[in-house]
């Protein structure tokens, strides 16, 4: 998905950039001659972010040898990029604010567990336990809602750098797939514990800061990229201005 997006952006640049390169070059050479205000301006950013923290955590967990984990990974986990959309409205000449929406999914590795047969134990376990095994994993969905404030530093009407401040909430949904050892009744009572799932490293309350830049290839269409520590490290995509 990430590769396809960047190929699309590159194709757009290839068609549009030659027609605007000369004007943009002149503007960049003389930024003091360009007066640009964001007050009353509308912008929409649609993009994808990578790597997300859940995917990084899953990859790190899978690198640990099975002998250390005490279990067997039957199938590797996976995660999607974070798909994002945001709207920014200029409230002053250099500041814009607006809502933000992000969505991503992931699956933890599939863990195989087993418990040996236990002969009957008087009073404690009179019927004993038969040998049991199973596979379990978790599907994770994260919906991010919040608000952003951007401080713009335009170098021209088409190119700028900006800082992003974000505050919001992450709604995390976990759905169990398969059967965990603890759901086998007496197994849990006698203290035979299963391996827990990969922790979800995404807080319910989220705040972060990034640095970004955007280049408009036409008056209302451009590309952008942002980098910083948040749910993802890098976010890039398309920008619309009207």
Query: Residue 188 — φ and ψ, nearest 5°?
Result: -70, -35
**pLDDT-derived band of residue 193, with 50, 70 and 90 as boundaries?**
very low
Distance CA 65, CA 45 (A): 41
- Asked if 223 contacts 214 with a C-beta cutoff of 8 angstroms, the reply is yes
Asked whether the whole model's pTM tops 0.75, one would answer no
What is the tally of structural domains in the chain? Answer: 1
pLDDT at 17: 45
State the average pLDDT over residues 219-226.
Answer: 95
- Asked if 239 contacts 216 with a C-beta cutoff of 8 angstroms, the reply is yes
Average pLDDT across the chain, whole number: 76
Residue 5 has pLDDT above 60, yes or no: no
Please, where are the H alpha helices in the chain?
2-29, 53-62, 66-69, 186-189
pLDDT at 151: 94
Residue 44 has pLDDT above 60, yes or no: yes
| Segments forming the whole domain that contains residue 36 | 2-241
Residue 184 sits in a domain of what CATH number? 2.40.160.20
Distances (CA, A) of 191 to 40, 182, 185, 186, 188: 63, 9, 11, 9, 5
């Amino acid at each position: 998905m990430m590769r396809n997006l960047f190929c699309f952006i590159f194709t757009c640049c290839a068609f549009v950039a030659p027609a605007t390169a000369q004007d943009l070059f002149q503007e960049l050479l003389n930024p003091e001659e360009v007066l640009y205000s964001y007050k009353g301006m509308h912008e929409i950013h649609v993009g994808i972010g990578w790597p997300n923290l859940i995917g990084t955590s899953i990859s790190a967990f899978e690198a640990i040898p099975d002998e250390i984990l005490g279990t067997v990974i039957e199938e590797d986990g996976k995660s999607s990029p974070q798909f994002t959309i945001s709207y920014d409205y200029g409230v002053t000449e250099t500041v814009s604010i607006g809502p933000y929406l992000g969505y991503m999914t992931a699956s933890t590795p599939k863990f195989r567990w087993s418990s040996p047969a236990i002969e009957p134990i008087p009073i404690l376990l009179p019927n004993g336990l038969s040998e049991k095994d199973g596979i379990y994993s978790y599907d994770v969905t994260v919906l991010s809602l919040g608000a952003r404030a951007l401080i713009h530093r335009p170098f021209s009407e088409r190119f700028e750098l900006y800082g992003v401040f974000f505050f919001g909430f992450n709604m995390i949904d976990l759905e169990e797939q398969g059967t965990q050892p603890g759901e086998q009744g007496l197994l849990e009572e006698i203290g035979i514990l299963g391996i827990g799932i990969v922790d979800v490293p995404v807080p319910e309350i989220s705040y972060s800061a990034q640095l970004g830049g955007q280049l408009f290839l036409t008056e209302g269409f451009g590309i952008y990229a942002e980098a910083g520590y948040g749910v993802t490290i890098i976010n890039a995509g398309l920008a619309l201005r009207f």
